Amino acid sequence: MTRVVSAVAADALGVRPSQVSVRLADSDGGLDLTVRAPIRVVPLDDSTLDAAADSPADGTILDRTDRAQHQIRGTVADLTGAEIAGVVVRLTGARIRRPDRVD
């Protein structure tokens, strides 16, 4: 379960699964997930805006974290069948990477 949550959270935040820490806890039959990870961001001097959803340039850090929280909850529930009582995402930093470019 921890590896599934790590992989889903990494995808949602744009980082590697090895950068994600997960804590699972029982919550009256449901599962509380606490995820600690950095979030991928683009450099401040990057003038290109990537129009792809959930790209590092798409919205504020708070907006993206909120979307990631909902994505983690839904995807983990779909993949595992577990009842997810809550998801807490704690950002540990920012990983600056340029958006992937296609020629």
What's the confidence (pLDDT) of residue 25?
Answer: 96
What's the confidence (pLDDT) of residue 62?
Answer: 93
What's the confidence (pLDDT) of residue 42?
Answer: 80
The CATH number of whichever domain residue 71 belongs to comes to 3.30.300
What's the confidence (pLDDT) of residue 52?
Answer: 44
Evaluate whether residue 18 is within a structural domain.
Answer: yes
The C-alpha atoms of residue 26 and residue 14 are separated, in whole angstroms, by 27
Evaluate whether residue 74 is within a structural domain.
Answer: yes
Evaluate whether residue 103 is within a structural domain.
Answer: no
Average pLDDT over the chain reads: 87
- Output Rg (C-alpha) for the chain, integer angstroms: 14
Evaluate whether residue 36 is within a structural domain.
Answer: yes
Evaluate whether residue 86 is within a structural domain.
Answer: yes
Cα 1–chain centre separation: 16
Evaluate whether residue 101 is within a structural domain.
Answer: no
**Is residue 9 predicted with pLDDT exceeding 60?**
yes
The C-alpha atoms of residue 36 and residue 55 are separated, in whole angstroms, by 19
Two tokens at 89?
Answer: 């995402």
What's the whole-model pTM score?
0.81
Cα dist from 9 to 13, 35, 48, 69, 72, whole Å:
6, 7, 25, 8, 6
Number of domains in the chain: 1
* CB proximity list for 94: less than 8 A, separation 6 or greater: 38, 39, 40, 41, 61
- Residue range of the domain that includes 10: 2-96
Evaluate whether residue 10 is within a structural domain.
Answer: yes
Evaluate whether residue 102 is within a structural domain.
Answer: no
Cα dist from 21 to 33, 68, 72, 89, 100, whole Å:
10, 15, 13, 10, 25
